[in-house]
Amino acid sequence: MTMDESDFEATADDTLDRFMETIDEALGDRLEVDLEGGILTIRLDDGGQYVINKHAPNRQIWLSSPVSGAHHFDYDAGTGRWLSTRGGGALADLLAAELTAATGSGVDLA
C-alpha cells in the first residue's frame, strides 16, 4: 500500500526537519545547511552541494549528491526508512557516510 499525499508530506517533512537539525548540530561549523520550501540544501566548504527534496508525484525523496549523483528513495513503512530505488540502501546511511567523509566528522542520521 502506498502512502496518501498527506501521509507522504508529513513523513517527508519530518525526515527533512530531523536531517536539518541533526546535521546543523553535528556539522554546522563545517558546512552550511538550509531547509526552505521542502528543499534541504547542504553546502560544503569545497563548493560541493547536496540537495534533498520531496517529490510528491512519486511519493519519493530525491537526493542530488556531488559524490554519488542522483538517487530516489521510497518510504518503507516496515522499517521506517527511505530506501533507494536502486538497490535498497537507506537515505540516512548514504547521506551520513558521504557527509562524514567530506567533513572528517561523524553524523548519525538513522
Q: 110 in a domain, yes or no?
A: no
Q: 109 in a domain, yes or no?
A: no
Tell me the one-letter amino acid at 16.
L
pTM, full prediction: 0.94
Q: 31 in a domain, yes or no?
A: yes
pLDDT of residue 3: 83
67-96 mean pLDDT:
95
Q: 63 in a domain, yes or no?
A: yes
Query: What distance in Å separates the CA atoms of residue 91 and residue 97, rounded to the nearest whole number?
Result: 10
Q: How many domains does the chain have?
A: 1
pLDDT of residue 9: 96
- Provide the domain limits for residue 58: 5-103
> Looking at residue 44, which CATH number applies to its domain?
3.30.920.10
21-40 mean pLDDT:
95
Q: 108 in a domain, yes or no?
A: no
pLDDT of residue 88: 86
DSSP per residue, 82-110: EEETTT--BHHHHHHHHHHHHHSS-----
